[in-house]
Chain A
């Protein structure tokens, strides 16, 4: 399966700032996704990162808060904007080679907001 690298692996940020998380894959993939995993909760899909077009966001997530870029088939970024303590979570990137195939995950970015 693809090797997925996420940066940073963790960060501690101040309230009101923004952080951009990078996801790099070692092979071209059609599908890239961003998830949030809060303590004691299941993974929640934030959005599907579409190459060459705007991301598709799930209910409860908006582009102004979580802008996403997907410039090519191996790279995507997620920005968490104007952060508040409620944004403290693990953010995970996942990929699938094609539609309707199982997804593989990076190790996540552990984000704490003070």
Chain B
């Protein structure tokens, strides 16, 4: 079993829809959780990070962590074509080593 599992997609949704992106993990030592957005030919851009279970909201983005189920999600409300990118989940056990998912390619259809 891989440490972090993420569906690669592609995921296509119409503009304005709510997007749900998910990752599961197996290492219970992971203590902080991140979501990165990566546009083509660019580096990953940090979107959200959280240290605790529950929800964290930032504008149209909500990160959700369920440590008991080892499951994290990123929700995007009112999706826009500019949200089309690859979204990478990432997590760390406080040893500065981040484990990344493979990324989900998201397409928002105008």
Contacts and interface: CB of A to CB of B under 8 A. Distances in A.
A4 B43 CA distance: 10
B34 interface: yes
A29 to B, nearest CB: 12
Nearest to A30: B96
Given A100-B92, A102-B32, 15 more contacts: A1-B46, A6-B43, A31-B96, A41-B102, A42-B102, A42-B103, A43-B44, A43-B88, A48-B96, A92-B43, A102-B34, A103-B98, A105-B44, A108-B43, A110-B41
B96 A99 contact: yes
B43 A107 contact: yes
Interface in A22-56: 31, 33, 40-43, 45, 48
Q: Range of interface residues on chain B?
A: 20 to 34
Interface residues of A, number: 24
Q: Which 5 A/B pairs are nearest by Cβ-Cβ distance?
A: A105-B43, A42-B100, A107-B43, A43-B100, A102-B49
B16 interface: no
B96 A40 contact: no
Interface string A49-86: 00000000010000000000000000000000000000
Contact of B43 (A33, A40, A45, A106): A106
B45 interface: yes
A40 B9 CA distance: 11
B94 interface: yes
14 contacts: A1-B46, A41-B102, A42-B103, A43-B100, A58-B97, A92-B43, A100-B32, A100-B94, A100-B96, A102-B49, A104-B46, A105-B45, A108-B43, A110-B41
